[in-house]
Structure 1
């Protein structure tokens, strides 16, 4: 009987501790993190829908998931603005950004509100576009571009909303020292997850240039070297964890793979002709990039160069990122695009839109346009290194700014 009572007391203490930790971080911050996940989940599902079914309606399932995420972020952030502006005390208002002379909001909340409005506004624009011009053949159509920018604003808002609390280094009086440490760790991981969701969006945004068929082309390394270091270094530095960039890239890899792997199990049939590839399950984007490999090199080198100035760090990090990316992804591209071992549910290299010719001769091999002379490769990789250095320097500066965000 005494053992049972002790166990009950322990359970109540654990529950009380968890509840206090939850209450120590505002609800709108949790909602923004979940919204960040929902919007990219909806985007990946929508792409698979276009590849597998064809025309979608304004309120198709993927669109609804995206709308819910964007709307939730905007509504909860908007409520927080009104609550702080009209019912908040001076201490609460002092932690916010004042705008229009009346309202008080966190910087992350402003991003979420704008992103939610832009995302929902793009929905009827996208529906009109389909009704006027038919099915999109590219990810970056005008309405999709507006949508993606709005959704990425929501994700940026989620990141900054978490950062504001993380950077204040507040000690909540109602929490013990151990609970305050757990709260800080929770905020760090919330930030890492939001950063991973943003990286997933960046990759999806650029997937037409970063597919497996492009991994034997210098342009792949130029795009990847310009696009990713800025985000990886900024978020890795702001995370406050030694291996922050690596954690972010592992979560990106796992999340992107899980969403598409689950979709590839679901039955579906095309509803728009002509059908050149008979399919019975969802077709999706291919296997994600192995960004955790250059990310590991970045984190290791960033720690070793911590005493150096940012210009020196950017130079060395930019070079190592591109070199590791090339060494890891050129052979990985060979495997994904040409090996029969990659044509399965796990790697998804056999995913092919119903609109594409199933018997295209270059479906599973690189085309002659990938045969570049050595001089073209040297020039292309040199440009990629330059892009990477510039991107790394901006990323380090952005990371410094992120570490100062407290509103």
Structure 2
């Protein structure tokens, strides 16, 4: 296995760090999809639905093309290359050979590209909706997450076979891709984690679902200190970058009704403070490596939720205050379709849940946080064994 790995690194390396070009391309693909997805939401909030050939759409679908090209290259090389060093570390599928992650990414690329005409037809048939959760968007999301998982599996296979120097470089790239996975999962939930919802238990239940799993799985698989903090930092850096850069770009509505005059791109809100509980999560995971997964899930999953509530709840109060209505925190940005009578425009929280609803949902959030951590730990351990 070591000889095979060395051959792969020497023949397919594009950088002095020993990272092959197709792994950089996989990371670029998931970045393109996330940037395009966030920008597309801002486009809808600032301009409305435009033509299909907008820059955000091109960035989104470039993900499918990039993933298809890089993964297709790996599959064709492993299948038909007579001296391909990938053959011994490939899986067979439909008469073809290649890394498992490449097959997953190819499927994701096909799904993403297939969603394009579906989305266009959907809007022509049912109107110019701006909902994130719609059938064509779910096909698109399924394709993207397949590419995300495929990229993770591809990086894992190379990282787990690599020498120490190359492994360090691959581990950083692996954590970056994990960070985009966290960011994309929260992007998909944007409609349910609005600022006015931050004092509801449902908000914390939705955030805990999926997010904690990704952090735990990637952290355990990477075996790197502060892995969760690094991934949360990637999410935070993207969020702050969009918040501060998009308002510098001119834009104006093309659809109505227009309730707010918009002269520039409207970004989403200040990123969630997940970096704080992620750091606590890291500390606990570092101190409990020899513990049983279920016990570890309890002592790491519950504190994640408690710390997140402790920092996000008061920060939500701040975001509702006039002190946050500036370029730094971005609370004053409203899309053209935000009604003046809405909770969002009036800077008030959604009507409170009943005490019973609140504690039932918060209990579910605690259970979900522990469950996601437990599944993530098991997934991370399995990911450490990926070689193909």
Pairwise CA RMSD: 1.9
Q: For each residue in 1:111-138, what CA deviation from the matched residue of structure 2 results, as whole angstroms up to 9, or x when unmatched? A: 2111111111101111111111222232
Find the counterpart in structure 2 of residue 283 from structure 1: 266
Structure 1 window deviating more from structure 2 (196-205 vs 225-234): it is 225-234
Is 1:166 the equivalent of 2:159? Answer: yes
User: Which shows bigger deviation, 358-367 or 237-246?
Assistant: 358-367
Is 1:223 equivalent to 2:206 in the alignment? yes
Give the Å deviation of 1:368.
Answer: 5.8
What SS does structure 2 have at the residue aligned with 1:274? coil
2:72 paired with 1:78: yes
Q: How does 1:299-318 map to 2 (within 5 A)?
A: 299-318=282-301
CA distance in 1, matches of 2:346, 2:288: 42
Q: Could you tell me how far 1:80 is from its partner in structure 2?
A: 1.6
| Contact persistence 2:49–2:130 (CA under 8 A) | no
Cα distance change on mapping 1:21 and 1:360 into 2, 3 Å = closer
Supply the distance in 1 between the matched residues of 2:356 and 2:16 (Cα, whole angstroms): 57
Q: Deviations over 1:261-294 (max 9, x none)?
A: 2112110010112211111011121111111111
In the alignment, structure 2 segments of 5+ residues that lack a partner are: 1-12
Contact 1:57 1:127 in 2 (8 A): no
Q: CA deviation at 1:375?
A: 4.3
2:375 pairs with 1:394: yes
The alignment's TM-score, normalised by the length of structure 2, stands at 0.92
SS of corresponding position for 1:204? helix
The DSSP-based 3-state class of the residue aligned with 2:86 is: helix
Structural mapping, 1:112-151, within 5 Å: 112-151=105-144
Aligned 8 A contact 2:193 2:203 in 1: yes
Cα displacement (A) at 1:354: 0.8
Structure 1 residue 93 and structure 2 residue 74: aligned? Answer: no
1:35 corresponds to 2:29: yes
Q: Is the 8 A contact 2:198 2:349 kept in 1?
A: no
Larger radius of gyration: 1
- TM norm structure 1: 0.88
Name the structure 1 match of 2:46: 52
Distance in 1 (CA, whole Å) between partners of 2:324 and 2:270 is: 9
Deviations 1:40-71 (A, max 9, x none): 00000110011111122221111111112220
Match for residue 338 of structure 2?
356
Three-state SS of the structure 2 residue aligned to 1:98 is strand
Give the deviation of 1:244 after TM superposition. 0.5
Which residue in 1 is equivalent to 2:4?
none
